[in-house]
Structures are given as C-alpha cells and as structure tokens.
Amino acid sequence: MSKKNVFQIEQLGPCKIQSPIPYSTVMGDDIANYVTDDEKILYDIDLTPGKTTEDLIDGGLLEKAGPRQKIYFNPMHSHAAIVTAGGLCPGLNNVIRAVVRTLWYRYNVTRISGIPYGFKGFLAEYGLSNIELNPDNVDDIHNMGGTILGSSRGNGKRVEEIVDSLERLNVNLLFIIGGDGTQRASNDIGDEVIKRGLKISVVGIPKTIDNDLLYTERTFGFETAVSKAVEALSAAHVEAKSANHGLGLVKVMGRDSGFIAASTALSSNDANFVLIPEVPFELHGKNGLFAHLKDRLERRQHAVILVAEGAGQDLMPLESKTDQSGNKLHSDIGAFLKLEILKYFEEINMEIALKYIDPSYIIRASASKASDSLYCARLGSNAVHAALAGKTKCLVTLWNTHFVHLPISMVVKGRKRVDPESSLWRDVQETTRQPLNMTNK
Amino acid sequence: MSKKNVFQIEQLGPCKIQSPIPYSTVMGDDIANYVTDDEKILYDIDLTPGKTTEDLIDGGLLEKAGPRQKIYFNPMHSHAAIVTAGGLCPGLNNVIRAVVRTLWYRYNVTRISGIPYGFKGFLAEYGLSNIELNPDNVDDIHNMGGTILGSSRGNGKRVEEIVDSLERLNVNLLFIIGGDGTQRASNDIGDEVIKRGLKISVVGIPKTIDNDLLYTERTFGFETAVSKAVEALSAAHVEAKSANHGLGLVKVMGRDSGFIAASTALSSNDANFVLIPEVPFELHGKNGLFAHLKDRLERRQHAVILVAEGAGQDLMPLESKTDQSGNKLHSDIGAFLKLEILKYFEEINMEIALKYIDPSYIIRASASKASDSLYCARLGSNAVHAALAGKTKCLVTLWNTHFVHLPISMVVKGRKRVDPESSLWRDVQETTRQPLNMTNK
Amino acid sequence: MSKKNVFQIEQLGPCKIQSPIPYSTVMGDDIANYVTDDEKILYDIDLTPGKTTEDLIDGGLLEKAGPRQKIYFNPMHSHAAIVTAGGLCPGLNNVIRAVVRTLWYRYNVTRISGIPYGFKGFLAEYGLSNIELNPDNVDDIHNMGGTILGSSRGNGKRVEEIVDSLERLNVNLLFIIGGDGTQRASNDIGDEVIKRGLKISVVGIPKTIDNDLLYTERTFGFETAVSKAVEALSAAHVEAKSANHGLGLVKVMGRDSGFIAASTALSSNDANFVLIPEVPFELHGKNGLFAHLKDRLERRQHAVILVAEGAGQDLMPLESKTDQSGNKLHSDIGAFLKLEILKYFEEINMEIALKYIDPSYIIRASASKASDSLYCARLGSNAVHAALAGKTKCLVTLWNTHFVHLPISMVVKGRKRVDPESSLWRDVQETTRQPLNMTNK
Amino acid sequence: MSKKNVFQIEQLGPCKIQSPIPYSTVMGDDIANYVTDDEKILYDIDLTPGKTTEDLIDGGLLEKAGPRQKIYFNPMHSHAAIVTAGGLCPGLNNVIRAVVRTLWYRYNVTRISGIPYGFKGFLAEYGLSNIELNPDNVDDIHNMGGTILGSSRGNGKRVEEIVDSLERLNVNLLFIIGGDGTQRASNDIGDEVIKRGLKISVVGIPKTIDNDLLYTERTFGFETAVSKAVEALSAAHVEAKSANHGLGLVKVMGRDSGFIAASTALSSNDANFVLIPEVPFELHGKNGLFAHLKDRLERRQHAVILVAEGAGQDLMPLESKTDQSGNKLHSDIGAFLKLEILKYFEEINMEIALKYIDPSYIIRASASKASDSLYCARLGSNAVHAALAGKTKCLVTLWNTHFVHLPISMVVKGRKRVDPESSLWRDVQETTRQPLNMTNK
C-alpha cells in the first residue's frame, strides 16, 4: 500500500487572497516563483538492499515550504502570536526575529505579540503581559542566546484556556517554537481551534537541541550545540593529558538520542569512548567499559569519555519522576559514572585523576553560530509563509536539504535515534577506535 | 531515456580480498554493515511542476560511499600518496588526518606519503622530498588552518610526469584534494594510469571554498568560510553604523557562484545589498545600485554591501589573464566598486565614509569549525574506503545528506551556481530587502 | 628643580556639595572610602643607572582618580554630554555605558545627551539630533563594536561654535572620548569655557588604539586590537607555511608607535620580522630586509613580516596630506612593501608566494575583550567622578596600575613610543630572532 | 626602620662569564642594554593619607629582571630542567616554550629536560621518563591548554629525594612553575641545594590562576581565566533572563581571594551579586543575601549570582581535609548555595528557575589569550636570564608594569587579597549595584 498521503498538511480553508509579495509565476525571468502545494520532495531516497525505486516512490512525498501566491488570511486583519516553550536552545531569538520580520516586511502584518514565558503567558493566573514585537525591537536579538520572550516548561495540557486566550487576543496566526511535548500541545491546540470553528493557523517550529526529531535532517541549534560541546570535550582532553592516568569525563545532552555525543566525537577527535542511549554497554566484566578504560590508561596514560545524558540508564537505580513537560527524568549518568569509576580504580588500587565536566547550560545558552543562524532565518520565514496560507497543525523543517511542511501528528509519534548500524555510528567508532561492543554477552 | 547509468563509477578490477575491518553483513546485530555497490541514493528528489515521480527515478542513482566487504588492493602491499593542490580552504588538514588514520588504523596501510606543495611535489625539477605520514604526526593538525603538505597551483597538465612519479614511488592509492582544475588533472591522471595498465586508484576529495561543485550538497570549508565572512561583514556593519553616511563594503570569495555571499547575508543580517555573479546589476540609472544606495543612506544613514569576487564582471574593463590553475583571472570588483562609489558620491556632492574590507586570506587560512571538521573526517575516511575498493577517477562527496561516489568526468563539466529563482536567493532578498532587480531594463 | 607640580589638575571651583554616594571616610570599616585630592601615586619608579631615589620623588606625583566626598556640581541640576570622535576603537561603547550608568545610578544625573557623530553633532550645519541616553538604552551596547553615538574626524578647531552649543544645551559635564587631536580640542574647549566664565567640566577619556599616549600604561582597546591582530598574523603564517617560499605580510595600526606590532609579535610567535616606526631599516644591501628575507626563505621555506603602518616612511615617496583630524597621512607601507618584495624576488628570479593582509577595520570594529571591558568600565566611572568634582581639562587614565588624572596639556605634548633599547623591544627581538639591526651602516 | 633590603635576591656566586647575547652597555645606540643588579623599581608608589614620599622610598626596591652582562653558569656545561606542578592554568605551555627557546637560542643551552607530572617526575617510585625539550617540539604548544609536561599535586616535602634526583641528572638550572605550595617546595629545594654546596639555581615562575600572589601585579593565566568566566557568566545571565524568576548561579575559582569573581563582574556586567572570600555575608535576615535576591526577582524577574569558591566558608559545616598540595579543602559553596536557595524559595512559596554553572575545568584548561601569551613569553625568558645569572630561590614576576625578581621566602608568607575598601571592590559594587553590606549586624 502506498504511503503517499501520510504527509498531508491540514488546511483551514481555501486560499483566495493575493499574496502581497511580488514573486513570479514563470520560470526564466530571474525572479523567484511562488511555491505551489503540488511541489513536493521525495521522503525516502535511500536504496538499501532489497528495496526497489518503486519503494522509494511509495515512501511518500513531503510538501515544500515557501510563499504561496494565494493566501488564506488577510494580513491587514491579522494578529500573530509567538511563543517559545521548553529548555533553551541556540537560535531561538533568530527564529523569533525572522518570524517578526517576514510578517512585518513581507506581509505587512504589524500586530505581533510575544507571549511571555511559554504557555504560562496564556494563563491568566500568572498575570503576565504580552510583548509587542516589531522589526526594531528584534533587530539585534540574533546575537544573543536564550529567548527574549522567556520560556518555561509545562501547561501544555491546558489547551482550552490557551485557546480561550487566543480568542480573547483575536490571534489568527500562532507560532509555537518548542520541542516534542510542546508540539503535542500545538496539535491539541490546533484540534481545539478547529473544534470551535475558529480560524487560527497553528504552525510549529521544532526545537530540540538533541536533534531527535523524526523526518528532520537536523534541528536548529544542534550544530551550535556540537561546536560548544567540542570546546568542553577539548577541556576534558587537556585535563586528562596533563595528568598521569588522567581521565576526562564529559556529559552532553541527549535524553534519548546520542546525536550530540556522536557528532561531537566526530568533530573533535578528543573522545576515546562515546556512550549513547542507543548502544547498551556494561561497566564491569572482561569486555566492560572499565576494563577497556584501564587498558587505555595503561597504554596511553590518559582517556576521555563522552557520555550522552540518556546513556546507560539501565545501569542505574530507577527514577520515576518526570519534568513539567512530561519528559521522563533521567538519573544523572555523569555523576553516577564519576562515582563508579572512582570506586573501580580505588578497588584495583590504581591512582587516577578524574575531571568531570557538565557543560549543559553553557551549551544551551550560547548564541547561534553562522550555520544555525542561516537555518533559523529560513525556518522562521517559511513558518510565516505556511501560516498565512492557512496551513495548521504542521511543522516547518528541513528534509533532504529542502524546507518542508510536516503534520505534527506524525512527527510526535516517536523520536529519531542514532542507528548503531548507520554510517554515522560506524564513523564514530572509526574515529574513537572504541570497541564495537562493550557488553559481556 | 533513462539517465540511470550516468553516475557509474570506474573500477580497476574485481574485489577479491576480504576487508580487514570486522563489519557485519546482517542487519539487526547492532554492528555496522559493509556497504555494497548496489546501495544507492536517488539524485533528483524535487517534484517541481510538470515532473512526475517517474522523472525522479529517471534522474539517476548515486553510489553510496563506505567500506566494502571485499577490497581490490592488498593493504600489506599498498603505498598511499596524498596531495593537496590549489588555494587554501579550511579543513584540508582534517581531511589529511582522516585519510591517514583510516589507512593506518582500519586497513593497516602504513606506507603513506605526503606529496609536498601540490603537483610540484611530483616533479623532479623542484627537488622536493615527500613527507612520511602516520597517526602521530597528523594527530593535532586538525586544529590548524592550511595544509601541512603545502599546496600550489598549476602543473595539472604534466600528467605523464606525474604518473611516472607514481610509478617510481610504487604508489597504488592516490588521494587528490583540490578544486575543479585539480580534479580535471585527477581524471587525466586516472586515464593515463589505465592507459599504462597500472593499478592505481585515483580518488579525489573536492575542495572548493566557493561551494560551486555540481552534484554536491556543500563542499568542506564552506560553512567555516561563511562563519568567518560573517565576522568581516559585522566589522563593516559596525564601521558603517558608526559614521554619518557610513558605507561598508566587503568582498568575499565566489568566482562564479555567489554561495558564500548569499549564505553570509542569510547568516548575519548585516548586508543591505548582496551582489553575486549570477545576478546582473547596473551601477547607474534610476534603478541602479547607486541610486538605491543613496536612497538607503538618506533614509538610514548607513549601508553595507557584500560583493562576491565574480560579481559585476561585465561592468569592468576586460582581463584576459588566467592563474596557474587555468582559472580566468577576475578584475577586482571590490577595488572597482570602491572607486566608483567614491566617484559617484563626490559627483552628487554627498559626503560618505566608505570602509572597504577584503578578508580573503583570513577566511581561507582559518581552521575548520566543528561542522566542517565532522564533514572532513567523514569525507576522508570514505575516500579511503573507495580507493581500497579499487574505485578510480571518482570523487567522494555529499548529496542529499548521504556520502556518495561521483565520476570526476561528470562533476567537472560545469559549476553549481545560485539560481536566482531558487528559495536560497529568494530568502536572501527577503533578508536584505534589496530590490529584486537592479537593472534599468 | 622638582617637577612635583606639573601634573596639577585644573579645578572649576571649590567642592561644597556632599556626594550622594554613601562611601566611608574611615579605614577598617570594610566600606570603600572617598578619594581625596591629596592621594597620589609616584610617576617615576624606575631606578635606572645614575638615578637616585630622590630623582624618583622629583619625577612628580599623579593625582588619583575616584569619587570625592564633596563635589562641585549639583547632580539634580546637571546635564551631561558625551561625544566620541576619531577612528573606531574597541571599547567605545563600554566607556559610554559606564559613564551613563555612573551618572545615573551613582549621582542621579538623568539628563544625559549623546552627541552624534563626533564634533559634527555640535555644529548646526549638520542638523543632527542628540540621543537621550539612559541605563536602558545602553544596557547591551558593551557587546557591540563601534560607537552607538557615531563618530567622525575633524572640526576640533571650531571651539567657539562647540562652546556655543554647550551653552545652548546647558551642559555642565562634558565627556570627550577621542585621540590626540580630539583631546587637543578638549583642552581648547576647556580654555574657552573658562574664558567665558562658564561652569562646565571638560573631562577626556583618551582613545588611541595605537597605545601611544604619554604617561599612560596602556590605552583601552589596545589589548583587544592585539588579540585580533594575532588572528590576522596567524592567517598570514598559515598561508606562508602552506606555500613553497610562502611569504605572509601583515600591516597593523601604529602611525607613530609600534606597540601593536611589538605586542602582537610577542603574543603570537608567528612573525619573523617586525617593522615599526621607531626602528629604521633598509630594504636593500647586505644587511637589508630583503637579504634577510631571502636567507630565511631558503632556510625555512616561509617567512612572515609584521609591519606597523608608520614604519619605513623614509623609504617611500613623500605624502603631504593630512586627514580631517590633522594627522599626517602616511604612505601605505604595506602596499609599498608588497610591490617592492615582488620586484626584488622577480629580479633575483626566485619564485615566491606572497599574501598580504590588511586587517585594519576588522581590528578596529571588534567588540572589546574581557580585559578591555573591565578597563573601560573603570575608566568611564572614574571620568564621571572627576567631572562631578569639577575637574576640567583633564584625562582619566591608568599609570602604574592606578587610575589617575592627567592634565590634557601635558599629555598632548608628544607621543609614547617604543624605545628600541627597552625590554619590550628586546623581548620582541628575542622572540622573532630578527637581526638587531637591518641597516647597512 | 627602612625595609629597603627585604627584597634581596640570593645569588649562587659571582658572575664571571660573559653572556653570549650581544646586548649593549651604552644608551643611545638603539640596541637594548644588559640589565644590572642595581636597576630596581620602587615597590610602594601609593601616597595614601598620612604617608610621605619618604615612606614610599622606605617601602623598598625590587630588582629588575632581564639579561645580565656577566653570567654565573657556563651555558655549554649547563643542563636545565623544567617542572610544572599543581592545577592547570592557561599559559603553562607558553612559559615552557619561552624557557626552552631562550635557553636554546639565546644561551645555546641544549640540554633541557622536561620533568613529567610535577614533582612525581623526580621520584624513582613512579618510574617516569624525562622529556627532552627543544625548539622543535615546543614550537606549537602555546596554542594548547594544559602542560605538555603533565602536572600533579603534592610531594613538595620530599626535598631530599628531589635534590638527589637533580644531582643524578646533573641539573644546574631548575625552573619550577607552580603555585604557593609548590614555591614553598622550591625554596626548600633551594635551601637543600645550598646546604649540600651544590651549584643549582632554583627559579620559580609563579602560577596561581586566582591572582593571589603577594607583590605581584597579576599572575599569568588570570586574564584568560576571567575572559572564560565571562562566558560562563553570560550563559547564566541568558538562562536567568529567559525564565520567569530565573536565577543564574556561577561558581568561579578563588580559594582565598576574590580577584577572578571581581574582575569577571567588572568585565561582563552580568552579575547582580558577587560573593568573595574577603567580604562576609549572611544568607538570612532582613539584610541577608536571600532577602535581596527575592527583592531583585520581584523587581526584575531575574538575577545572577557570581560566587568565588572560597566565599562564605563560615556559613557551611566544617571540612578538615586538605588536598595533596596541602591546600585546605573548601566545602563546595556553589552546591551549598544552590540547595539553600531552593530551600528558601520553597519555604516562601515563590517559584524560581535556578541554573547552576561550575565552569572550573573549562576555564583552567583553556589555551591562553593574547595578553597572557605575551606575559608568559616574557616571564619565561626573564626566568632564564635569572637562572643563568646564578640567582636562586627567587621568582620572576610583574610589579608596577616591570618584570622583577622576588625572594620566594617573602612571597609565600601570605596571600594577596581583595581589599574591601579598594577601588577594585568599590568599582564592583558600582557595577553590580549590590548592597555595600549583606550582614545583619
């Protein structure tokens, strides 16, 4: 059965208004064209053994993002709202800036409200005031980390109150920048909007520093995060190398997916052992991490371990708590490893110098580097094009180098993870030369 | 007619030797698999108006890079040579390092010669000595700009002498890191090798800081170049803003393609006018650059122009020279614009403060940033896998997020250029808000 | 005769108003004390051969900067003006920020005008509007290069018009941030103020990226300039090393004094020849630069030259022009050297690869690094303390690690220069290992 | 009583050998002169109330560092050893590089041994091998953090074994780079050397990232540390500002002295409360930290605290341990504050978002920034000049902008601390606008 239709984007209604942006409708005049809903890209392009090109076609098509010739909303009567939710990620301000400028300069939408501190900003009990946004007050924000709107976790279940608030504010263009949990809320908000017969497009811009979004080549902030993690890893390497039996241990983000750890290792060459959630490992035994660690310290006098926060959860006592966004709270693998390593080497009576680095906030709060800045600028403007065209319950993202629309409902079904059999993990192993397997089975 | 076969990679002969790398041949065992020659990706995935999914299939398939189970060369008897040619580009040392380490640690190839100063290193008249490479002496080079091998332009036509030299050295694995002109030479060397019945695989790793390579998503060093260009643009912006009628002018690389200029403008938001080779513009007249410049200075007191070196060549007196690699020498659009702008504003008696920045070498000589470091690491190791498998006259590169092999002959047929009707140029125009057209036609 | 009194600071009148800042007047209560006019530091502390400690005492005393218990102006009725003049220098915005915040938060002076674009902002013919400054609009400016007030050269002779403007604006606290030429104007403005019987304190904050100010340990922006120059020098080194007979040539600021060049060479170790205005050199002849250059290229294959813009002026045809600030315009030693070097090596038929880098604006426009940021913050607040206390025609600066007041008249008498017999130049020579002398005498 | 003689440097014997460095002995020939032992600088230059200029003279004179015309050791028969001990500090490799190059190129001392891993390297039981140092293998190390020699704490009491080892190695020039505890050992080693009648000069290069060395303007690595701490503080500020009642908490180095915290606050402007060991504070009560924190969060929604590791030790339960260098182990004020703050705001039922950053290793392991690089280069070469001249039991350091010799015995008598009544702390308070006092007395 063909899966062609699974990436169908929901639409508030037919587009009848001429876009104010003077693009072209013909090729060859050296002026960019409007994008039509028929323009798509192939989702699956990977001819692995056993697949035919027909299977690729059956993999489905993703709708291209971009400015439409006919739009759904009258910009003159539009009121846009932007909200950022969840943890910080480099590039948030860049996205906000791009959304505001595209609304203002391209579509002449001049009523733009920043919702303060995530979904809290919609809830009366917090008594927070919206922030009027315009090109002037967002002009320099792309050079700053964080979000000028403020952010918070949680409250994503209070859909009715949020939609009440949207009604009260008369918002018809809602941009929600946030992760997994937040986008689940976006979808529910979009459903509630439709249920009430309202005309509000809900467009999500996915934010996950972990780069674990399905159908998404990479998420904004990820490359910046890696470049900052490389600096922390370098410090660990320097500390390790400067000590006799020096051992550097760095914990990076990655609750369920080891992309930051894997990419950091490949970018820097300073890690000898990379531990990620997708690849199980044991501490003890002949083929456990500690035996390999000891061996490396004896051979090379120093070693560096890079661990993703979600790695090795099975090795630790259970935590049953969740944070306010509903994410399962992880036990702290960094602190755990530090203690266990110290214990192990004390037991075998081998003196080591262990330095543990947890650079988390320094990474998250960083301003975005150039490649993320460019990405955020384009994500933001494409989100505006989508919203004006009446698309709703969709995300704007990048797939196979093209900006596309994704139905939120599909994206939040799971998480993108590092495939241990992929070329990415293969290349990490080639770089670190760590054992292909660190279990005793 | 189907174009399926155009990306066919030439092969020195059948692969009969078992790879020393212990990868898997089955899925599901959590160990990376060898890559087979049947694994491909689709080249064309873009369903523009008028195209069918069948057309996409007809667009052809690119062979995936990666380690093969059976290889052509016996690593024990192999001698690899690496050469870097042409202008500097961030990441050269990273590629060298990855090639050396993959040869040494993965395939146990321990005879690795660095050829000094480009093709000069092959020519007896220069009397240069090769550099023995090993993991130790390349260990820290990825933190340095430039190339530890040295580079030079030219001598790409002296194919017979080069192959003589390869014969003399008994090299069977040749890695050539260089641009367009250099890869044309790679192809000729590959042809001469076959003509002589030699068994030498010639694998190119494409280096063009301009990102103008056909069939290539992006070239290494490009993102680093953009991030450094952003810094220069920022300086121009600061200078312009700090003066009354301040005008910043920055020239960046881009002989034939404006990718650096376009991406820099999108990453930084500091440019008001971006001039690239692909988009013609006029200086004078009602809709010329100068009229718009004057208008902007009057409205906003400052302006910043970002010009690619190949832009506006038609506006200047002709140069007929070429450099040693055979590239047409461009007239200096930066210096030309500077003079013409000063002349224009003197004529209209408007006082301006013009600051011209040409950051060229500071960009080229930079060490690679994290995302390029990762890219170079993977390019280098995939190039080694290709060479050991007896592939020749091919490049290793990235397309639609996959590492692939490309026949050099196809790649050097033309150049990738910024399509003025593409979403990239559209987004540049949305960011800079420069006129869609600056000619008077 | 004792020189004790030469550093006497002019005072508008007796200080009768209690400072609003609640400092202490006793030691030992762990609260900072007001500074009295009697607190001084010794100017000369250097017991070179032939000098006695009495000579040191005779060297004079510098008045310490800092908050006075009694001040001259009533903050409630005060109006401050800030002007930045001359070329850009890292830290200008930091100084502006500190002045504004100290005025506002410490003294409750809330009428603060930014004068736009240097002295132009005082002159009616330019029709420029002042900028109201307050802690909010200067809050983030310290992270930006340039000056938010704008700057320009010249107009320093139009003292009467400037004082007319001050009278019209009712300004009584004038902060002038600028170089040599600008501070000469500050002194003249201070004289004119006194001549007219006005009560306006004129306090200068010296800005010279060249670090060539008399009686001044270092000027703000200098360390940042050096750190940026190190990056340019590093690029030149990479380019040189990557070519056969590669030659990197970098020009840095330093019209009359080679401090930037000397410090850059000492910070980076990448320069082989440092050329500064204070040390004559010849190009040709047995002991000329070119002979040494050739020798180095033959021995080491590459060389890097770092030249201060004011070096070797005697080698070039004369320029008789001055810029708008009255600085003698220098012939461009960088461009000159580039041509002469190319000519020389062509004549001796030695192939070289010369790369010339002029990073000037990238250096000047940079945001200030941490140590300059700290310095600017303290300069700015000490300038405010001086002005409120009715000091006039004085500069605030750093000498022997203390913040002090200097009479402008003394400071502008000459320039601080690199003494070729000093330990600084000795250490440069030890680092570069360049010949102690490159003339043929 | 005059203190003139207290800074007397011990000398192994009369200097009879002509220095191989061709400096001059006359002024005015534009060639640097040798420095004589009579050249000194004044220690005390600060005319505070109640002091006379005679008191300044009585403050004593410091001997200037630099090359002597006559030296004590014959370079041809010299063997130098370099050791780095204690925690990492930016610039260690720069100092090593400068020592090696000055020995080699200036004095032709070519037997240079790097002692591995601190004093451990002298002790037979560790079985460590010395590292032969020469200009080639130290050429690029200044761009790397850490120490290529390795370092460790402790073993400073094993003086006899260390001197045995020096005798065995026939070392006569010993360079010890390390902190307080290490320099105490240096002094003891120097004493033991003299007691045994050996001819070994022991010259220390003081390393304390905390900048807490007596008679020392600033220590190497300090400015780099501050610039890295500024980045961590900036992250805390971004996190705090992006949350409702966001609170950033950053711990920086500073066991006994708050210089890093004070300078970081002045460089960055992001801290609202700076807590240092020298200034007592209380947590609770009307004028305690928490009351002020609550007030600030209510007024401004966010706050940032910068705490030196040695601050507030009296607030915590006692620790009685010391580390291997004998430094008293501090209780962790950062972790303590984090818990107490959370407890306080839970008790008063105010929701806050606290982010705690401990950037320690990222700061320590950083490569040195330009101004420290320059400083290290000059420290290293001056240390060599001192050792060759037979000076022993002395440190080379900077005072009042001059490089000087200090007797180790005086320097280790105490620690330089931030004077709460100094202009430095006053300026911190002006910048942060924190209460002058946060106790309830």
| Residues D50-82 pLDDT 10s | 888 888 888 899 999 999 999 999 999 999 999
Q: Which helix (H) or strand (E) holds A297?
A: helix A289-300
| Nearest beta carbon to residue C267 from set D47, D227, D373 | D373
Task: State pLDDT tens for residues A287-344.
Answer: 999 999 999 999 999 999 999 999 999 998 866 566 665 666 667 899 999 999 999 9
For A126, which residue in chain D has the nearest alpha carbon?
D244
Contact A90, A154 (CB under 8 A): no
Q: How far apart are CA C39 and CA C36, in angstroms?
A: 6
A46 touching B, CB under 8 A? Answer: yes
More reliable by pLDDT, B323 or A62 = A62
At residue A6, the pLDDT reads 73
More reliable by pLDDT, C366 or B322 = C366
pLDDT band at A1 (very low <50, low <70, confident <90, very high): very low
Q: Is the pLDDT reported for residue C150 higher than 80?
A: yes
CB pairs under 8 A between A and D: 97
Q: Which helix (H) or strand (E) holds D385?
A: helix D370-388
Q: How far apart are CA A393 and CA B370, in angstroms?
A: 34
Q: Is the pLDDT reported for residue B23 higher than 50?
A: yes
Residues of D in contact with A358 (CB under 8 A): 358
At residue A358, the pLDDT reads 96
Mean pLDDT of A209-232: 95
Mean pLDDT of A386-398: 97
Task: State pLDDT tens for residues C213-237.
Answer: 999 999 999 999 999 999 999 999 9
Q: How far apart are CA B46 and CA C373, in angstroms?
A: 51
Looking at the complex, report in whole angstroms how far the Cα of residue B144 sits from the nearest Cα belonging to chain D.
10
Residue with token string 């050991």: B388
CATH number for the domain whose boundaries are C4-219+368-399: 3.40.50.450
Contact A108, A75 (CB under 8 A): yes
Mean of per-residue pLDDT scores for chain C: 93
Q: Is the pLDDT reported for residue C67 higher than 50?
A: yes
For D103, which residue in chain C has the nearest alpha carbon?
C430
Dihedral (CA of A274, A275, A276, A281) sign: positive
For the residues of C133-189, what is the DSSP string, one character each?
Answer: --TTTTTTGGGSSS-TT------TT-HHHHHHHHHHHT--EEEEEE-HHHHHHHHHH
Q: What is the ipTM of this complex?
A: 0.93
In angstroms, the Cα distances linking C18 to C73, C75, C77 are 10, 10, 14
Whether domain B4-219+367-411 has CATH 3.30.830.10: the reply is: no
Contact B158, B124 (CB under 8 A): no
Nearest Cα neighbor of B373 from B176, B142, B177, B148 is B142
Mean pLDDT of B306-327: 79
At residue D361, the pLDDT reads 95
D151 touching A, CB under 8 A? Answer: yes
Two tokens at A30? 């050296």
Q: How far apart are CA A320 and CA C45, in angstroms?
A: 68
Task: State pLDDT tens for residues C240-264.
Answer: 999 999 999 999 999 999 999 999 9
Contact C264, C230 (CB under 8 A): yes
Looking at the complex, report in whole angstroms how far the Cα of residue A296 sits from the nearest Cα belonging to chain C.
34
Contact A327, A300 (CB under 8 A): no
Looking at the complex, report in whole angstroms how far the Cα of residue D84 sits from the nearest Cα belonging to chain A.
10
DSSP-H helix ranges across D146-215: 159-169, 180-195
For D302, which residue in chain A has the nearest alpha carbon?
A150
Q: Is the pLDDT reported for residue B406 higher than 80?
A: yes
Residue with token string 């080779």: B277
Q: Which of A29, A44, A164, A210 is flagged as catalytic? A: A210
At residue C288, the pLDDT reads 96
Contact B264, B432 (CB under 8 A): no
In angstroms, the Cα distances linking D166 to B45, B50, C335, C415, D163 are 71, 84, 54, 50, 5
Nearest Cα neighbor of D238 from A360, A204, C95 is A360
Nearest Cα neighbor of D396 from D387, D404, D385 is D404
At residue B6, the pLDDT reads 73
For the residues of B175-228, what is the DSSP string, one character each?
Answer: EEEE-HHHHHHHHHHHHHHHHTT---EEEEEE--TT---TT-S--TTHHHHHHH
- For residue A349, the tally of other CB atoms under 10 A from its CB is 6
Task: State pLDDT tens for residues A149-198.
Answer: 999 998 999 999 999 999 999 999 999 999 989 999 999 999 999 999 99
For B364, which residue in chain C has the nearest alpha carbon?
C235
CATH number for the domain whose boundaries are D4-219+366-411: 3.40.50.450
- For residue B127, the tally of other CB atoms under 10 A from its CB is 7
Q: How far apart are CA C208 and CA C218, in angstroms?
A: 9
For chain C, give every domain's residue range.
4-219+368-399, 222-365+421-432
Whether domain A222-365+421-432 has CATH 2.120.10.30: the reply is: no
At residue D67, the pLDDT reads 97
Query: What's the CA dihedral at A276, A280, A284, A289 to 10 degrees?
Result: -40
Contact C101, C82 (CB under 8 A): no
| Nearest beta carbon to residue D371 from set C39, C223, C427 | C223
Residue with token string 């950033």: D248
D244 touching A, CB under 8 A? Answer: yes
**Does the pTM exceed 0.90?**
yes
For A419, which residue in chain B has the nearest alpha carbon?
B30
Looking at the complex, report in whole angstroms how far the Cα of residue C385 sits from the nearest Cα belonging to chain D.
12
Residues of D in contact with B144 (CB under 8 A): 140
Residue with token string 């993690």: A229
Beta strands D17-18; D70-71: pairing state: antiparallel
C24 touching A, CB under 8 A? Answer: no
At residue C2, the pLDDT reads 45
Nearest Cα neighbor of D399 from B440, B388, C402 is C402
In angstroms, the Cα distances linking A148 to A84, A87, A118, A142, A181 are 9, 13, 11, 10, 21
Nearest Cα neighbor of D92 from D182, D21, D217 is D182
Q: How far apart are CA D352 and CA D341, in angstroms?
A: 10
Residues of B in contact with A29 (CB under 8 A): 421
C374 touching D, CB under 8 A? Answer: yes
Looking at the complex, report in whole angstroms how far the Cα of residue A117 sits from the nearest Cα belonging to chain C.
21
CB pairs under 8 A between B and C: 97
Fold of D222-364+421-432: Rossmann fold (3.40.50)
The two domains D4-219+366-411 and D222-364+421-432 share their CATH topology (first three levels equal): yes
Region of B175 on the Ramachandran plot (φ > 0 left; ψ -120 to 50 alpha; else beta): beta
At residue D2, the pLDDT reads 45
Residues of chain C with pLDDT > 70: what percent?
96
pLDDT < 70: residue spans in chain D: 1-5, 318-330
At residue B30, the pLDDT reads 86
The amino acid present at B194, given as its one-letter code, is I
Q: How far apart are CA D5 and CA D2, in angstroms?
A: 8
Hey, what long-range contacts does C322-330 have (CB within 8 A, 24 or more apart)? C323/C153, C323/C154, C324/C152, C324/C153, C324/C154, C324/C155, C325/C85, C325/C86, C325/C153, C325/C154, C325/C156, C325/C179, C325/C180, C325/C181, C325/C182, C326/C154, C326/C156, C326/C181, C327/C180, C327/C181, C327/C255, C328/C255, C330/C255
Q: Does the distance separating the beta carbons of D369 and C421 come in below 8 Å? A: no
pLDDT band at C331 (very low <50, low <70, confident <90, very high): confident
Segment 379-398 of chain C within 8 Å of chain D by CB: 381
| Local structure of A300: helix, strand or coil | helix
Q: Give C207's contacts (C-beta < 8 A, 6+ positions apart).
A: C84, C86, C89, C92, C177, C178, C179, C182, C219, C220, C221
